[in-house]
Amino acid sequence: MAILKEAKTMEEKVAEHYVNKVYRTVIERNPGESEFHQAAREIFDSLVPLFAKYPHYMEQGILERVVEPERMIIFRVPWVDDKGKVQVNRGFRVQYNSTIGPYKGGIRFHPSVNASIMKFLGFEQIFKNALTGLPIGGGKGGSDFDPKDKSEGEIMRFIQSFMTELYRHIGPDIDVPAGDIGVGAREIGYMFGQYKRIRGAFEAGVFTGKSPAYWGSLGRTEATGYGAVYFAQEMLKGRGMKLRGQTVVVSGSGNVSIYAMEKAQALGAKVVACSDSNGYIYDEKGINLATIKRIKEVERKRIKEYVNVHPHAKYTEGCSGIWSIPCDIALPCATQNEIDEASAKLLVKNGVKAVVEGANMPCTLEAIDVFLDNDILYGPGKAANAGGVAVSALEMAQNSMRLPWTFEEVDRKLQEIMKKIYRQSMNAAEEFGYPGNLVIGANIAGFKRVADAMIVQGVI
């Protein structure tokens, strides 16, 4: 067992035996899908104390049901590149769980996308969405399309082809996609345009993360990064600490990273490093965010350009070295498994106080163990990065009302939601005998909400 060191009581031993049995089925049914196995292992281990106290969840077979996606759609995406050559990518949508709302979750465009990554993200999304307290089920989608070396025209044509299949599976009350790695407001715009054209109806609520020009929510762009920092603030407060004056390292330089850096800086922290998939920059004077935004959001170039403008800063090739920079707070905001056991040990050795996940599953199970064993504050992604999908749900609410809220109103609601997720997770951790353990707390709180709703809906 990784998260839960050892079952303490007889009831926990019974529950442990049960989750291990279900876990073996997951491995057999999904051979070779290591990311999915990892996400399942973390959640399953966390649920042992819940099942020990409330065995009816085991009797109702909730775990067996919830780990199996309601459906998974895999489709061909043919398109023509700028040279006139036919290209074929693979598209995915995992419609994981619709117990408490329409399937909801982002779309990822990255060459690594496969069934394992889709399922790990979709499975996590169910419990993350439940934690927000808003009416959204869990889903995820994407493609192995790599937007990086593509022209604007190629990206649009690819998306139009992608949507020509996906449109039949989604809808404002069915499945509501949004962005993730490689998908931002530009890509959502092309998806929405094609959906509207095929569907012949203006259904604003079918996507979130839209441009505010056509009823996207103000504050959605900032929501995941801001939310992660609000969550970090609550964690620090719990130990009598503040964000002000802390040194922060943020991996990535995409949507989540940029707005995590913006909020951390606004609250008085010093952000000294960020990265992309090629390397990282260290700026001991503090990262100049205007430069990062220009390079990444406007010019869509590589992070190493930063040192051309700020020659005192240092660029290093390779990603994992960023975790060797001493910091008080680490915010992994790039991708899965970016902090392994060795990086975790290095962070601890260098005095890290809190690790808060802006990305989904950025820490390996071994890394999480290192943080928990050393009593480092550890904020798991499904709680800490839930601000993005929470504001997505607020976007759906505004679209249903056909009325927009101000940025301030959305931001105020986001802060309340992040505080509530923190409190809920801490309370569950305490109630089930693991005080302060936010992994166990967040997983139990999220799972319980979905499981209770599944029970009252019958065997579904």
Contact residues: ligand 2IT, CB under 6 A: 104-106, 128, 178, 180, 208, 360, 388-389, 392
* Tokens (6 digits) for 366: 């071994």
The entry of ligand NDP, ligand 2IT, none that residue 105 binds, CB within 5 to 8 Å by partner kind: ligand 2IT
Given the complex with ligand NDP, which of 417 and 454 has the nearer CB atom? 417
Pick the closest to residue 24 from 60, 63, 80, 55 (CA basis): 63
Q: Which residue has the tokens 């762009």?
A: 221
Neighbours of 426 (CB within 10 A): 21
| Contacting ligand NDP within 89-108 (CB under 6 A) | 106
The entry of ligand NDP, ligand 2IT, none that residue 182 binds, CB within 5 to 8 Å by partner kind: ligand NDP
* Tokens (6 digits) for 8: 């303490």
φ, ψ for residue 97, nearest 5 deg: -155, 125
**Shortest distance (Å) from residue 251 CB to ligand 2IT:** 16
Given the complex with ligand 2IT, which of 51 and 109 has the nearer CB atom? 109
Given the complex with ligand 2IT, which of 221 and 233 has the nearer CB atom? 221
Given the complex with ligand NDP, which of 181 and 442 has the nearer CB atom? 181
**Shortest distance (Å) from residue 108 CB to ligand NDP:** 7
Interface pick for ligand NDP out of 60, 114, 277, 316 (rule CB under 6 A):
277
From residue 8, alpha-carbon distances to 4, 13, 16, 172, 368 in Å are 10, 7, 10, 45, 20
Pick the closest to residue 92 from 28, 175, 173 (CA basis): 175
Interface pick for ligand NDP out of 131, 250, 261, 319 (rule CB under 6 A):
319
- Report the distance separating Cα 427 and Cα 421, nearest Å: 10
The entry of ligand NDP, ligand 2IT, none that residue 276 binds, CB within 5 to 8 Å by partner kind: ligand NDP
Using CB under 6 A as the binding rule, whether residue 252 contacts ligand NDP is answered as yes
- Report the distance separating Cα 447 and Cα 122, nearest Å: 14
Q: At what angle do helices 34-53 and 115-131 cross, to 10 degrees?
A: 30
Residue facing ligand 2IT at closest CB distance:
106
Phi-psi domain of 224 (left: phi exceeds 0; alpha: psi -120 through 50; beta: other): alpha
Using CB under 6 A as the binding rule, whether residue 332 contacts ligand NDP is answered as no
Sign for the pseudo-dihedral over CA of 123, 129, 133, 137: negative
Interface pick for ligand NDP out of 15, 295, 333, 347 (rule CB under 6 A):
333
60-80 residues labelled b (16+ CB within 10 A) or e (exposed): eebbeebbbbbebbebebebe
The entry of ligand 2IT, ligand NDP, none that residue 104 binds, CB within 5 to 8 Å by partner kind: ligand 2IT
Catalytic residue IDs:
140
**Shortest distance (Å) from residue 244 CB to ligand NDP:** 25
Pick the closest to residue 285 from 228, 247, 341, 242 (CA basis): 247
Site string for ligand NDP, 157-196 (x = CB under 6 A): ----------------------xxxx--------------
**Shortest distance (Å) from residue 128 CB to ligand 2IT:** 6
**Shortest distance (Å) from residue 106 CB to ligand 2IT:** 3
32-52 residues labelled b (16+ CB within 10 A) or e (exposed): ebebbbbbbbbbbbbbbbbbb
**Shortest distance (Å) from residue 216 CB to ligand NDP:** 12
| Contacting ligand NDP within 342-361 (CB under 6 A) | 358-360
